[in-house]
Amino acid sequence: MSDQGKYDALNLEELQALRAALNAEEEPERAAEIDAAIARKQEEIIAAPDAETITEPSDTTITRSVSHEATPASTASEGANAAFKPEQEPAHSAQPDDRLASLGERLGGAIIDMVISVLISIPLAFFVGMEALAQPTFSLLLMSMVYSVVTYIVVHGYFLINFGQTVGKHFINTRIENLDGTQSSFTNIVVRRYLPVAVIVNIPFIGGIAALVDIFFVFRKDRRCVHDFIAGTRVCRVPESIDA
């Protein structure tokens, strides 16, 4: 290795220390070589910031490019998460407990419906006679059940189809809902909620007990009677958005 190459391998501090210890008068050529090496080192140091300035925009450009490339992926991921995120139901549907009908409201609606039921049963009583109703035959029981179902649909049908209400519930401003807070259908109310109980309560001896059990279930926390469990329904106040 030449002396010049050897000096280039040293750093600036080492070259300056070597130059200070050297007697330039005794070794002028060596001193000149060291001075030249020091000058080159200083030029490298001066040129170093310029190199950083040149490379820095390149690094920045690469970083920005990666950032821009990552953005569509992030957007796609967010889009996928949004696609699989279940839609939220309206507040009145998600939390029907806030609108659960009170015992007073349930009782008020039931009394109105009971009065209507008694009134529409009067023609049947006159037609078959009270003595026959006291000891009904199977055919009379069957006729009575059919009469009850038909008159129930005739009297309450309009309100059941359009509002999920009987006449009594319409006056009290409550309605029959599914457990998710949506209005129960006419078919569900008649076939699953009304019909099974209407059949059972007309059975001698058993009917009276079944009717009492059905009534006492209203004292539960969720105020669901037996017929509500059969139909998967509950009675709630009409949502303000609909009532308005």
Same domain, residue pair 104 and 157 = yes
Last residue of a domain, one of 55, 84, 113: 84
Among 36-40, 122-126, 131-135, 215-219, the range scoring the smallest mean pLDDT is 131-135
Q: Which of 44, 63, 84 is the last residue of a domain?
A: 84
Q: What is the value of pTM for the model shown?
A: 0.57
Q: Which residue, 84, 107, 122, sits at the end of a domain?
A: 84
How confident is the model over 147-188, as pLDDT tens digits? 989 999 999 999 999 999 999 999 999 999 999 999 999 999
Query: Helix count (H) and strand count (E) of the chain?
Result: 13, 2
DSSP string, 69-109: HHHHHHHHHHHHHHHHSPPPPPHHHH-GGGGBPPHHHHHHH
Query: Is residue 53's pLDDT more than 80?
Result: no
> Residue 202 corresponds to which tokens in the numbers above?
């007309």
Confidence of residue 96 (pLDDT cuts 50, 70, 90): low
| Structural tokens at position 71 | 């953005």
Question: CB–CB of 231/178 below 8 Å?
Answer: no
Buried b (16+ CB within 10 A) or exposed e, 4-28: eeebeebeeeebeebbeeeeeeeee
Give Rg (Cα) of the chain: 46
- Rounded Cα gap, residues 193 and 191, in angstroms: 6
Amino acid letter for position 7? Y
One domain, residues 196 and 148: yes
- The domain total for the chain is 2
Structural domain span for residue 133? 91-243
